[in-house]
Structure 1
Amino acid sequence: MTANLFQTYVLNKTLSLKNRILMAPLTRCVADDELVPTQDMADYYGRRAEAGLIISEAVIIRPDGQGYPNTPGIFTPAQIDGWRTVTDAVHANAGKIFAQLWHTGRVAHPHFYQATGSQDVMAPSAVGIEGSVPRMRELTYQIPKAITVEEIAQLVSDYSQAAANAIDAGFDGVEIHGANGYLIDQFLHHDSNRRSDEYGQTPENMSRFALEVLDAIVARIGNDRTALRISPGAYFNMAGDSRDRAVFDYLIPEIEQRDLAFLHIGIFDDAMEFDYLGGRASSYVRSIYNKTLVGVGSFTAEAGSQAIADDKFDLLAIGRPFIANPDYVERVRDGKDLVEYSDEMLTSLV
């Protein structure tokens, strides 16, 4: 029933995957206090190298991008060295791994980068979200500062440098995190982007930052090693707006022209439907994007296999079941029962 998941898949002239099962990015908050990946993290990823591709947990591109405790960075030499231990472990087990590059934008908190002397939270506009930081409920979110054009240019440069750092650390490529209500996604939705300059109001302007980051990274490491995750449907730390459809109607064909390694849907449950997208986010993207698409969102192996057979997407990303089952690929291939995920599993790496 799942035979198509175990077919090799050629992404491009540079990269070929041994199967169509990807390990989705899963934030674990277990880097050390300097945001350096640990040996436990290397062992954790190494045990999951049977995936066709691992997409790492989200990796902070610079200090003010941090919004959760102990999330790893890739902006210091020690962090790069730590990630090299991880990538070595994956490659030793014949796996491939991309780094997911991340800035949380208005979801960041100065508590995490107070040593830099900055108290600013960066976002497209001075529009905050309510609530507090997960795992640190005493920290409530702040109203962000609207980023200046000069600061945007620096962010683009920092994304590019982070991509170069990832290749230096041994990653096979990068996935730009442009989804799930974080910085790049904040530029793409009217709820969080109230700008009136060249980065706001129109689909072209609201897409500008995402495309500038994309182009800078492609210029630095190549389109064959660059992927992107997007959330056309606003669902996490973001309110939907019917005008968002026009932004993604413009953006997605522009992405297709860049001939990336893949485009990845950002959604927790692909059964969610959005009126302004005419249904599921994955169905909407597939209708206007003709290159490699990664589906994700509470799929079983069987449901994901059927979706691939029905040409709904090309590759299947699996999240929490990979936490519970380091040998997920083997279990599915051999028809073995899966260990059921539970939240208690988040307290340690197995």
Structure 2
Amino acid sequence: MKLFSTCTIGAVKLQNRIVMAPMTRSRATNNLPNSLMVEYYSQRSGAGLIITEGTSPSPNGLGYARIPGAFSAEQTAGWKQIADAVHRGGARIFMQLMHCGRVGNNLNLPAGAELVAPSAITLANKIWTDSQGEQPYDQPREMTPKDIEQAIAEYALAAKNAVAAGLDGVEVHGANGYLINQFLDPGSNQRRDAYGGDAARRNRFALDVAAAVIAEIGADRVGIRLSPYGVFNEMSGDYDGIAEQYVALAAAAGGLGLAYLHLVDHSAMGAPKPEPATVQAICQAFRAAGGAAVILSGGYDAARAEADLQSGAADLIAFGRPFIANPDLVARLQSGKELAVPDQATFYSPGEAGYTDYPGMP
């Protein structure tokens, strides 16, 4: 099967075409990568490529409890232990750079940090804080031009730190309602300057971040994740002009020579289904402009993954939740063994339960 064949994306050769999708797991106490995370990632190093959980490039981006960062020397040292362990297992590893933007509560931020976003629009509902339980989302401050310049520089520094820690590259998280997606979406971006208004200006922050990261570590070590039509974290979904916007964004990203475009489809979790023709157009635009590879993710099993690889729709396939309860997922897919089901109650809880204690195949 092509799913289990080797391939090369950018500067990295992979042992198979199975990607472990980025998944927030909230085990980074004090926002530091730790020995428990080393065990978790090393258990799953049968994948061709592991994309880490969302990792903030800035203290301002730590909107959730216990997510890791990549902006301090101590964090870099922690990530080095993870990268070394994953490499010993045979996988390659990219760090997903995720600035939460408006998605957060001030109780989850370190001293001196603040919630910032394209516009001062507050999310509805509540978010978990370790100190006071469920709390309303706090209102973000609208970013000034200087804030935007600083955030772009923070992404570049985090990419530099990731490579210094021995990771093979980074994924710029432009999906799922976080900071870059907040700039892309007309519902969360009400600006009327160079970073807001029409689609081209809403695309600018994503492209400026990608360009800054490329300048730091090289295009062949950089990917980008997008979620067109996504509604997670109160994104608008199917708004007027979205297809044209994302095709243009993909073409511009491809023109930067990125190692991959990672498209996520959340319809298996109840979100709207992206229009297949638009997904195809986005991927074609990325490749035609010079982008290297396409990763598709969202509700895949082995048969569907193989079909999309054989058709050329994708070069790699990302699996998310199956990797939680099946640390040996690649071996299980190869053998056709039944997959274990993850315990959703422990997705984001601290400690090893539901994290490193899932057994491999008997």
Q: Is the 8 A contact 1:122 1:147 kept in 2?
A: yes
Residue 28 of structure 2 contacts residue 66 of structure 2 at CA under 8 Å; is this kept in 1?
yes
Q: CA deviation at 1:144?
A: 1.8
> What is aligned with 2:320?
319
1:108–1:135 CA distance, 2 compared to 1 (3 A): closer
Between the aligned partners of 2:249 and 2:110, the Cα distance in structure 1 is 35
Equivalent residue, structure 2, for 1:49: 45
The match for 1:128 among 116, 122, 145 is 122
List per-residue Cα deviations over 1:267-291 (Å, max 9, x = no partner): 333697869x644764342343324
Would the aligned equivalents of 2:125 and 2:136 in 1 still touch at CA under 8 Å?
A: yes
Report the equivalent of 1:247.
245
4+ aligned runs moved over 3 Å, structure 1 = 134-137, 269-275, 277-284
Q: Which amino acid aligns with 1:71?
A: I
Contact 1:124–1:195 under 8 Å retained in 2: yes
**Deviation at 1:166?**
0.4
Aligned-pair distance for 1:126? 1.5
| Matching of residues 148-159 of structure 1 within 5 Å | 148-159=144-155
Distance 1:266 1:134 in 2: 25
**8 Å contact kept, 1:271–1:280:** no
Q: Does 2:288 align with 1:302? A: no
Query: Which residue of 64, 87, 95 maps to 1:68?
Result: 64
RMSD: 1.9
State the secondary structure of the residue aligned to 2:180.
helix
SS at match of 2:60: helix
- In structure 1, runs of 5+ residues without a counterpart are none
For residues 118-167 of structure 1, give each alpha carbon's deviation from its aligned partner in whole angstroms, at most 9, with x where no partner exists.
4x421111122101114665321122211111110011101000000101
Q: Which residue of 2 aligns with 1:202?
A: 198
Which residue number in structure 1 is paired with residue 263 of structure 2?
Answer: 265
With 285-294 and 186-195 compared, the bigger mean Cα shift is at 285-294
- Following superposition, the deviation at residue 202 of structure 1 comes to 1.6
State the percentage of identical aligned residues.
37
Alpha-carbon distance between aligned partners in 2 of 1:112 and 1:143, rounded to the nearest angstrom: 14
Instruction: Specify which of 13, 16, 31 is matched with residue 19 of structure 1.
Output: 16
| Distance in structure 1 (CA, Å) of the matches to 2:230 and 2:299 | 17
CA 1:133–1:345 in 2, change beyond 3 Å: closer, same or farther? closer
Relative to 1, partners in 2 of residues 1:135 and 1:315: Cα closer, same or farther, differing over 3 Å?
Answer: farther
CA deviation after TM superposition for structure 1 residue 24, in Å:
0.4
**Mind listing any 5+ residue stretches in structure 2 that lack a counterpart?**
357-362
CA distance in 2, matches of 1:256, 1:222: 14
Q: What TM-score do you get using the length of structure 1 for normalisation?
A: 0.92
1:7 alignment partner, one of 5, 8, 13:
5
| Distance in 1 separating the partners of 2:219 and 2:284 | 22
Contact 1:24–1:54 (CA<8 Å) still a contact in 2? yes
Correspondence 1:32 to 2:39: no
Structure 1 residues 59 and 164: alpha-carbon distance in aligned structure 2, compared to 1, 3 A threshold: same
1:108 shift after superposition: 2.4
> Any conservation in 1 of the 2:76–2:165 contact (CA below 8 Å)?
yes
What number of residue pairs does the alignment pair up? 343
Whole-Å separation in 1 of the counterparts to 2:62 and 2:173: 13
Give the alignment's TM-score, normalised by structure 2. Answer: 0.90
